[in-house]
Amino acid sequence: MRHPRDIQRPGRKLATRVLHSASSVDRSTGASSIPLYQASTYHHFSLEHPPQYDYARSGNPTRQALEDTIAELEGGVRGFAFASGMAAVSTAFMLLSQGDHILCSEDVYGGTYRLLTTILNRMGITTTFVDMTDLDRLEAARRPNTRAVFVETPSNPNLKITDIAAVAEWAKKHGLLSILDNTFMTPCLQRPIELGIDIVLHSATKFLCGHSDVIAGLAVVANEKLGQQLKHLQNAVGGVLGVQDSWLLMRGMKTLSARMECSERSARQLADWLTRHPAVTRVYYPGLPDHPGRAIHERQSQGHGAMVSFDVGTGARARQVLERVTLPLVAVSLGAVESILSYPAMMSHAAMPREVRLERGIGDGLLRYSVGLEAVEDLIADLEQALDEAR
């Protein structure tokens, strides 16, 4: 009988493809779960015909199934799994060389900001942070040595929207590498390669895994040349994802579509409720009618996502809310089955100096809510008591 993946049926929805992908059935045994190949090295039965796998840093069947799955879901040609989201980001930036210049979204994740400003700058790779919602500003910031543009959309944590197709077209016009962090949306809701982006990155720790039990990063490339280059870097640098984490991540991804649908539905209700609460000065959510860039977001995405940011005015009030909520984890990270409430000023963006944060609109009163799978009525009631007591 033919392997299920060999029967191509065009037009299948992602909710179906996420279950019937490279990680759905083991080719050698038919097992419904890809085995954990817990091996560091592989026997060469013939020196004249080397095996597909020779050393686990270079390749592993369990990790390969995961890499094939994310490539399929994102619409790319090759996927790569790394030990963390930052390992994926760092490896992608290693495509650049000393003297190169990067254009980056101004309110980028704090870990990416730290990498660009404290490590890559020491290696002679410089960065200009730009408001990517304005192509004129992007063009004005371009230099003769600009080699790449790095985008987050929706951005972290203000959920600013960048026109993906417009930036990708602009990058191609100037011969620039385009890289996009798709962690917030996942391929369920946004597929940047289909819009012209060269490399898509994920902190797979978040929505793709979905269970707060794995640290992982993924990358997908749009063409084989980039695939060969990134494969060389992955093997040479060695920050690969382990077998157990690869298996756990594949298991988590099987419920990705259902989790995103439920969390997004609740996030819309939570965001709408927050706009009416007197203790909240501003709400950031792409599904709100007045969210800047909403029309662009809806043109390039299939949903608004499960992330809601809101400002309570001051750092003191933000701390009071964090102390009084009882349902969400007060923690770093996002994208889990349980809701997570984060304080960017001291968590995700702690590496960003306060004056820089404030310039980018990341104030001391800003909170970021990753909506999980709890009943939204309970989440609202819990947040209501916390906000009421913090006023």
Percent of the residues in the chain that have a pLDDT greater than 90, as a whole number: 82
Q: Of 4-8, 98-102, 325-329, 351-355, which gets the smallest average pLDDT?
A: 4-8
pLDDT value of position 348: 78
For range 101-129, the mean pLDDT: 95
Q: List active site positions.
A: 57, 109, 181, 206
Confidence check: pLDDT of 82 > 60 = yes
Judge contact between 181 and 157, C-beta under 8 A. Answer: no
Give per-residue pLDDT as tens, 5-22.
554 455 788 888 888 877
Average pLDDT in the 175-185 region? 98
Which has the higher per-residue pLDDT, 48 or 209?
209
Whether the per-residue pLDDT at 325 is higher than 90: the answer is yes
What pLDDT score was predicted for residue 371?
98
Entry pTM: 0.94
Averaged confidence pLDDT in the chain: 94
Q: Tens digit of pLDDT for each residue in 14-62? A: 888 888 877 778 877 888 889 999 999 999 898 888 888 999 999 999 9
Q: All domains of the chain, ordered by start, with CATH?
A: 4-253 (3.40.640.10), 256-390 (3.90.1150.10)
